[in-house]
Amino acid sequence: MLIAHEQIAFVGPRLPPNYEAVVGWKAVPKALTDDVTAIVVAGDTCLEESYLAQFPNLGLIACLSTGYDGVDVRWAARRGIKVTRAVEVNHEDVADHALGLLIAWTRGLVSGDRLVRSGEWSGSAKIVTRSLRELSVGVVGMGAIGKAVAARCALLGLPVSWWGPRPKDDVSFPRLPDLMTLANENDVLIVACKADSSNRHMIDGAILDALGPRGLLVNVARGRLVDEDALVDRLRSGRLAGAALDVFENEPTDPVKWRNLANVIVTPHSAGTTRTVMPKLVDQLILNLNAFFEGRELPTAIAA
**Residues with catalytic roles:** 222, 251, 269
C-alpha to C-alpha distance for 85 and 45, rounded to whole angstroms: 13
Per-position b or e across 34-49, b if 16+ CB within 10 A of its CB: eebbbbbbbbbbebee
What are the φ and ψ backbone dihedral angles of 162, each rounded to 5 degrees? -150, 165
C-alpha to C-alpha distance for 285 and 287, rounded to whole angstroms: 5
What distance, in Å, lies between the first and last C-alpha atoms of the chain? 23
**Amino acid at residue number 29:** P
C-alpha to C-alpha distance for 216 and 213, rounded to whole angstroms: 9
Torsion sign (Cα): 147, 150, 154, 155: positive
In terms of Cα–Cα distance, which of 141, 13, 165 is closest to 66? 141
C-alpha to C-alpha distance for 75 and 304, rounded to whole angstroms: 9
